[in-house]
Chains A and B, each alone.
Chain A
Amino acid sequence: MSIWALPAGLKLADYHKTASSQHTTQTLIPQQGERFIIPLQQHTGTKPHLEVVVGQYVYKGQILARPQDKISAAIHASTSGVILAIEPHTIAHTSGLPDLCVVIEADGLEDWGNSRFPSLDYSHTDLATLVTRVRDCGVVGLGGAVFPTDIKLNVPQPIPTLILNGAECEPYITCDDRLMQEHADEIVAGAKIIMHMLQAQVCKIGIEDNKPAAIAVMQQAVETAQLPSIEVVTIPTIYPSGAKKQLTYILTGKEVPSGGRGGDAGALCVNVGTARAVYQAVVKGEPLISRYVTISGDAIKQAGNFDVPFGLPIQRLVDAAQGATVTNPVLSMGGSMMPLPLHSSTTPVVKATNCVLVRTPPKPETIMPCIRCGHCAEVCPVNLLPQQLYWHARAKDLEQTERYHLFDCIECGCCSYVCPSHIPLVDYYRFAKAEIKTQRETRQKAEIARSRHEFRQERLERAQREKAEKLTKHKTTLQDSAAQTSSTSPEMDAKKAAIQAALERAKAKKAQQAATETSPIPENKA
């Protein structure tokens, strides 16, 4: 089978995968009294609607929050215990701001109660039921984007090719590597379910050639399952071949159109971990409440992989890896190319946590001006001109950044990595993207407010106009009738004269009153 070479990307000198990939994954088992901090926002989309209260006992796998918009995901209890609080807590987010979390004190029983869903025979189940199941189980993309999987799999037209992403191009992360070695059969079973849902003809599992063990095990699993439509494809080790658009190109030669969605290229890319989660949701009826997490970095004693229930603090993971080797390690989530700095070790592990890096504090690098060397453009897998984007983002010329295709940037970090001036380029792009989004929202809001105002204005005018019309109509009818009556009845004239006389009397009385009121002043003066 042929593969297509990425036009650019990074061939990295240093990979740090051996340290963490050689050990079997250990499962972190909740201890009695241990606190789980489960954020409601663990995915891309709207925050789900809370369904539990403080003091309530929850079973393992019980739903804590239900999706309330189209793009949203369910959150479940990752252990059994009592809800101590529902309060804001530090979460893994760039802003470092706290967000609403459900705090559970584990009873150590790991009691599922009856929160498992019944097993489904996918081949005899319709798409809607399968999609609902995936949604009920809170399955999101585990490659890092945490986009709700039910949305991704609920497509009207068949998608001919399913791509399973086992590339794992990041130089530190090995959780997918271990997952493929340890649960190949479940991943393949998940792939079958997804193929059924998409009505896909073929499935290609892309794995970088630096993971021979995973490739062998996956090939074995595919052979055992006797599925000729599924193929394991070895791809060259180059960063970022594991980005979904890039992997789609490598395996199919087709590009996802700019601004389009995965399926638009006739191929949908799903992470191997997500495929397993789909299997667990459909066949085992288990919601997504844990994941494989790599812990690595130069300041961790025993790098490795752990199956971590969501909500356990990062510190628990660090302890499980026998702690840090330095007193003030720098913690970050995600790989080394685009790390998300963690401000506290009490930050909980969430659905997006594929890796925790524990590293010695880096030597601060002086940021120099851009010398336009163009190394960034040479490595950009999207073929952007990062130096031009940087120039315009820095000048806050947002219109120009869009003209230079800012929104096609996949934020892989290749440009920042090679920049001789150590400019944090991706931070500038993220800033510009956020700024443009805010501007669009403001403009949209202003637009709504304006149309509302215009509508109100028009309504008022219309009301006034109608009133005026009514009045004139009324007047004319009155005049008409008056003209009719004046000409016909003489007693009307008498009435009018009487009114006139009464008015004059009132006037005279008023004038007299005014005279008596003003009179004391001259008297006083006298």
Chain B
Amino acid sequence: MNPNYTVAQVMQLVLLALIPGIALMLWFFGWGVLTNLLIACLLAVALESLLLYLRKRPIKPFLSDYSAVLTACLLALALPPYAPWWVIAVGIVMAIIIAKHLYGGLGYNAFNPAMVGYAALLVSFPLEMTVWPVASGGFGVLDFHSTLLQVFGSGFSGWDAYTHATALDSMKTGLSLHQTPSQLLQTQSMGLLGGQGWEWINLAYLIGGGWLLYKRIITWHIPVAMLLGLSLFASLFWLYSPDNYPTPIFHLFSGATMLGAFFIATDPVTASTTPVGKLVFGFSIGALLYIIRTWGGYPDAVAFAVIVMNMAVPLLDTYTQPRIYGQRRGL
């Protein structure tokens, strides 16, 4: 049976598919995930309304398409929990105003709005953007009062004690200090497969993504190609030198891999639309992700990999047209 969705239903289903991941992030990080989401969503809806009003577009149908909420959620989930409100605000302004409406609004943006917001924040506020709370489990690290202080106030005094380097971060630093991946996996921030907590979060996003595939909101091409690209590069280097490169499993279950593969790279507006184009697009993101993680200046790189490949989309779409009915084969 072929699906017959509306734009709003598409967005709603993607939001629903995020729920398992959000639930696990809440379990590991606590209130900070919720404040991120709430602040981002409220601001996004407010800015979307304002921009629609300024651009003299009908507000109700465009606001009820849930696209702004989805952008906000994706950005909020990519940010470190307990992010100060103004960091979130700058990110949302970048995403909704610059990346979305200045390009013409829904359907016309060349770059993934959430990732533009994220990248802008990462280069502007590297400190705030790289401080992640410990994935301690048991619904997080801070109580509600301290959360408010941390997010809206001048900062919670004992905050440093609750933060640490993420798995990808410590792997990167450790390797540069000539430690081996297997040694590093024994350290505090690591779990069984990837980063502590992160492996489960990634698994939850994988399940959500699988559900999107089942509902035929997304096709398999981009996520499979992206995970394949990442694993292929990771496997090659890991097989070449297991003492210098972590396992492909570590890469697959750390950082924003699964969120990126199923929810971010698959954003239809900014991704390639032909079957072959999608494969190239996804595979290149996976490859870029590995390259930047391994040799670049940032521990994780979903945002940069996606934005770089967004630029290649018009070219990909032009040169990967499928063979149509009645056209000679091999043309």
Contacts and interface: CB of A to CB of B under 8 A. Distances in A.
Contacts of A338: none
B257 to A, nearest CB: 23
A408 B324 contact: yes
Interface in A368-416: 368-375, 377-379, 381-385, 387-388, 404-405, 408
State the main secondary structure of chain B at its contact with A.
Answer: loop
A338 B7 CA distance: 22
B106 A374 contact: no
Contact of A10 (B2, B65, B317): B2
Contacts of B273: 372, 374, 377, 385, 387-388
B326 A418 contact: no
Contact of B269 (A371, A388, A405): A371
Given A372-B268, A378-B219, A421-B7, A255 B2 contact: no
Contacts of A260: 326
A174 B1 CA distance: 22
Interface residues of A, number: 41
A383 B2 contact: no
A382 B2 CA distance: 17
Contacts of A257: 326-328
Max count, chain A CB within 10 A of own CB: residue among B2, B4, B322? B2
Given A368-B61, A377-B274, A404-B321, A245 B326 contact: yes
B17 to A, nearest CB: 15
A502 interface: no
Interface string B309-323: 000000001000111
B61 A405 contact: no
Given A385-B274, A421-B7, A372 B326 contact: no
A366 B62 CA distance: 10
Nearest to A256: B326
Contacts of A279: none
B112 to A, nearest CB: 12
Nearest to B62: A368
A258 B7 contact: no
B240 interface: no
B7 A371 contact: yes
A408 B106 contact: no
Nearest to B218: A373
A12 interface: yes
B9 interface: yes
21 contacts: A245-B325, A366-B58, A368-B65, A368-B106, A369-B108, A371-B67, A371-B268, A373-B10, A374-B219, A377-B322, A379-B2, A381-B325, A383-B322, A383-B324, A383-B325, A404-B321, A405-B324, A408-B325, A420-B6, A420-B7, A420-B9
B295 interface: no
A383 B107 contact: no
A310 interface: no
Interface string B95-134: 0000000000111100000000000000000000000000
Nearest to B64: A366
Interface residues of B, number: 35
A11 B2 CA distance: 6
Max count, chain A CB within 10 A of own CB: residue among B5, B108, B268? B268
A372 B269 contact: yes
Given A369-B106, A370-B107, A418 B3 contact: yes
A418 B322 contact: no
A422 interface: yes
A420 B268 CA distance: 12
A368 B105 CA distance: 11
A526 interface: no
Contacts of B6: 368, 420-422
Given A256-B326, A257-B326, A375 B61 contact: no
Interface in A229-274: 245-246, 249, 255-260
Contact of A249 (B1, B58, B325): B325
A11 to B, nearest CB: 5
Max count, chain B CB within 10 A of own CB: residue among A255, A377, A420? A420
A147 interface: no
A511 interface: no
A420 B325 contact: no
A421 B269 CA distance: 13
Given A258-B326, A372-B273, A375-B3, 14 more contacts: A256-B326, A368-B106, A368-B107, A369-B107, A369-B108, A371-B106, A371-B107, A374-B219, A374-B268, A377-B322, A381-B325, A383-B325, A385-B273, A387-B273
Contacts of B105: 369
A514 interface: no
Interface in A344-367: 366
**Top 8 nearest A-B pairs by Cβ distance?**
A369-B107, A258-B326, A373-B268, A382-B325, A366-B61, A374-B273, A383-B324, A372-B268
A382 B327 CA distance: 10
Interface string B1-44: 11111110110000000000000000000000000000000000
A245 B325 CA distance: 9
Interface in B263-302: 268-269, 271, 273-274
